[in-house]
Every structure is written in C-alpha cells, then in structure tokens.
A and B are shown apart, each in its own frame.
Chain A
Amino acid sequence: MAYSDKVIDHYNNPRNVGSLDKKDPNVGTGLVGAPECGK
C-alpha cells in the first residue's frame, strides 16, 4: 500500500517542527508520547 500524497507532502515538508527558546518565560515544557511506542 503506497502512502497518500498528503502523508508524503507532510513528510517532505514537515510543519510545526523545531525548538522554542526554553529560557523564554512564555515557553512551557511538557512531555508527550514514548519512544518505545514509536513516537
């Protein structure tokens, strides 16, 4: 089964990726998912 065009587009042009400045008082940090679930 091939991937859909939409999935491939998001893979090639990822949205909302990157880091925010952790020292900025307006930036909070949280933890979501676990690597052993493949996330």
Chain B
Amino acid sequence: MALKLPIYMDNHATTPCDPRVFETMAPYFTEIFGNAASRNHQFGWAAEEAVENARKQVADLIGATSKEIVFTSGATESDNLAIKGVAEMYYEKGDHIITVVTEHKAVLDACKKLEKRGFKVTYLPVASDGLISPDDVKNAITDKTILVSVMLANNEIGVIQPIAEIGRVCKERGVLFHTDATQGIGKVPFNVNEFNVDLVSISAHKMYGPKGVGALYVRRKNPRVQLTPIIDGGGHERGMRSGTLNVTGIVGLGKACEIAKAEMGEESEKLLRLRERLRTGIMNEIPEVYVNGSLDRRLPGNLNVSFAYVEGESLLMGINDIAVSSGSACTSASLEPSYVLKALGVGEELAHSSIRFGLGRFNTEEEVDYTIGRVNEAVNRLRELSPLWEMVQEGVDLSKVQWAGE
C-alpha cells in the first residue's frame, strides 16, 4: 500500500473521528434531531434514548453507573466543573486544594483562579521521570484539604501517574479525588472503584470521537459528591450542567467509548509495538537522543524525545510531511520551553529540542518506518549546520561555556 502524505502522528492533540463513530452519529444530525429534554413527543424521546444509551456506554468503560455521568463540552469544561464545583460546594469544610505542576492548563488555571478568590493550592513537584509519589500527596493533605486533582496520563510526555495509590490515600483521609483522564481513558485500564476516584474528566476527541463533547464522572455513593454548577439554566444533567444536550456529539462519545472498551487491549499492544519501533529506529541510529519522562509508566502511543543540539521547531520544519508536535510551546511572543519538561528538570537546551510523537489507532508500520528515515535525515542535516554540534565534536563542554544571555 502506497504511503499517504502527510502523516498524522499528533494523536495527543486530537484524533480523527473513527468512521464507525461518525456513521453512528450521522442520523442524529438530520433524522433524529429532537431535544433530549422534550418530554412530550417522539422526537424528544428518541433523542433521550440515544443519550441514555451513550451514558451507559461511557459508564461501562470506567466501571461507573449511568447516573454518575454528566455530559459537558469537553475535558476543559469537566476540569473546571470538577474543581470550581467542589471548591464552591465545600468551601465551608476547607479551602485547600492539592494538584501537580505538570497538570493541563485547564486544571492549573482553574486552581489559579481559585487562589485569587482565597483558596490555597499546593502544586506538587514531580521527579525526573515525571511521576509524583503517593506519599507526597499524603504529606500535603491537611485538615483543610477538600480536593486532590492528579491527571491519569500526561498530555506531553505520556507518563501515567499512580492513580490507584493516590486514590487510596485520599480515601483514607476522606478527601475528594479528581483525575483529568483525558489522555488515558480508552488507552490504559481505568476503573473508578478500583482506583478510588470521585471525579473523572473525559474528552471524546482524544479517543476517536468528535470534538466539542466530553463528560465528567461524579461519584454518587461512598461518598456522594455534590457540585455547584458553573453553567446555570434549564437544570439539565441533574442540575450540574445546564444547556441543551449535544445529542449527536454524545452519541459519538458513547460509540467511541464502546469501541475503546472492546479494542483497548489489542490496540495498546499494537501501539506499543509501533512506539518501540519508532524509538529504537531513531535512538539506535542517532546519538544524544533522550526520552523525556518514564519509559515504563507511559502511554503506549507516546514518545517524547529531545534531540540534543537541534532546535525543536527547526526539526519540525525538516519533517514537514509528518504532523508531530514540538514539546516546547514556543510562540513568537515567548521563548519559554515546555513547563512540563522544565518540571522534570530537563535543561532548557534539551527542552527546546523536544518532539512529541503521538501514535494512534490509524498509524501503520510503514508510516513509522518513513518517519524514522525522515527524522534521522533531518537531525543529521541540522547538526551538520549547528555550531553547537561542531563545538561538541571539537571537544568543547557546552555546560562550561559562558553564554551571552539575551
């Protein structure tokens, strides 16, 4: 089969909608278009039935019950609802929240906003492998702690936090536990009861569903979690999230969850095989390539590597027929590299030279092999041009050089 260019290998940013998901959604645009809240005619009933079916599909994937699923516009909203909703509901009980420096901005910025309103937030540091220790959580909990929020899998480096262990700590101390599971759901095994999680953010478009829809799992028993809504209105979703339900999107999210549940085992084996092929194909050929974050505790489809002496963005230009992401969030306005890599203690030079490969359901071995060739060629070419590389070849220790700061 001929290779089709460009190749998409940025599946942490978003995933294509699985054709099976799209087919399931299609009739809900034109034929079954009712408002799920219309209780007095068939159009509404049909929409409601579809929504409840999807609710069950989402719940089944994470070991929850249907009534614990609240549909939202996506994981950013779910994170905001979980964190701000808990803070507002439980502020009389305490004003302390614990999270981690490598969380997604949806969590960090929600916490920052709460800090402005008087809440106290502890941002736990991570080890050089990107992981936190459950003991750190345990030691950070005070009488005033109402919520711990730790992501399942990191969006940049793919490392998987010890959620079950942290869940146990939180349960012992009677503190609510939220996890942003956007990147991990449908990729690695996850169960709300085995992991003792009380709130879980889910996004459809990271698991081959459509954009603009997600869910928040809200535990109903042991303990029953209450939330103050952030969007008020018609009282949909048991009052936790008003707004006419996005029936089409919800149907897609449900189908995506059903497929993920059925195929996760096989798919993660395939992804791990492709990831290791990519990793060894690059690292066996090119010196001074470093994996960022733990390799063992990592999403099967994630590879985040730094190519010393090569600037990330210039490497992206060199492999312009492959869609990957530069780990550094360099914009024209800022030269700041990734805050996640900095939190790992990766030096600024290496943080600038990082690339995130996100392998997904539709990537093939041929695509991986092509990518290896293109990356190796581009890195070699850029190093040939690089004065830093030339200095290193001459035996200069770059860490001893006094650079002209700007």
Contact = CB atoms under 8 A, between A and B. Distances in A.
A38 B352 contact: yes
B317 A35 contact: no
A16 to B, nearest CB: 11
Nearest to B348: A36
B314 interface: yes
Interface string A1-34: 0010000100100100101000000000001111
A35 B396 CA distance: 14
A31 B388 CA distance: 11
Interface in B343-395: 347-349, 352, 385, 388, 390
Contact of A31 (B309, B311, B328, B403): B403
Interface string B281-315: 00000000000000000000000000001010110
Given A3-B317, A11-B317, A37 B398 contact: no
A19 B404 contact: no
B16 to A, nearest CB: 21
Contacts of B390: 19
A31 B347 CA distance: 20
B335 A38 contact: yes
A12 B240 CA distance: 54
Contacts of B317: 3, 8, 11
Given A3-B317, A11-B314, A19-B390, A35 B385 contact: no
A38 B331 CA distance: 12
A37 B335 contact: yes
A8 B313 CA distance: 13
Nearest to B385: A17
A38 B349 CA distance: 7
A2 to B, nearest CB: 9
Contact of A35 (B313, B328, B330, B352): B352
A4 B76 CA distance: 33
Contacts of A3: 317
A31 B385 CA distance: 16
Interface residues of A, number: 15
B314 A34 contact: no
A31 B390 CA distance: 13
B406 interface: yes
A37 B311 CA distance: 10
B401 interface: yes
Nearest to A2: B320
A35 B349 contact: yes
B19 interface: no
B118 interface: no
A32 B401 CA distance: 12
Nearest to A11: B317
Nearest to B332: A1
Contacts of B347: 36
Contact of A38 (B318, B330, B398, B404): B330
Contacts of B403: 31, 33-36
Contacts of B405: 34, 37
A35 B406 contact: no
A31 B406 contact: no
A38 B388 CA distance: 11
B388 A35 contact: yes
Given A3-B317, A8-B317, A11-B317, A36 B404 contact: no
Contact of B406 (A14, A17, A34): A34
B401 A31 contact: yes
30 contacts: A3-B317, A8-B317, A11-B314, A11-B317, A14-B385, A31-B403, A31-B404, A32-B404, A33-B403, A33-B404, A33-B406, A34-B403, A34-B404, A34-B405, A34-B406, A35-B348, A35-B349, A35-B388, A35-B403, A36-B348, A36-B349, A36-B352, A37-B405, A37-B406, A38-B313, A38-B328, A38-B330, A38-B352, A39-B311, A39-B406
- Across the A-B interface, give the 5 residue pairs with the lowest CB-CB distance, nearest first: A36-B348, A34-B403, A35-B349, A38-B352, A17-B385
Given A36-B347, A37-B405, 6 more contacts: A11-B314, A32-B404, A35-B398, A36-B349, A38-B335, A39-B406
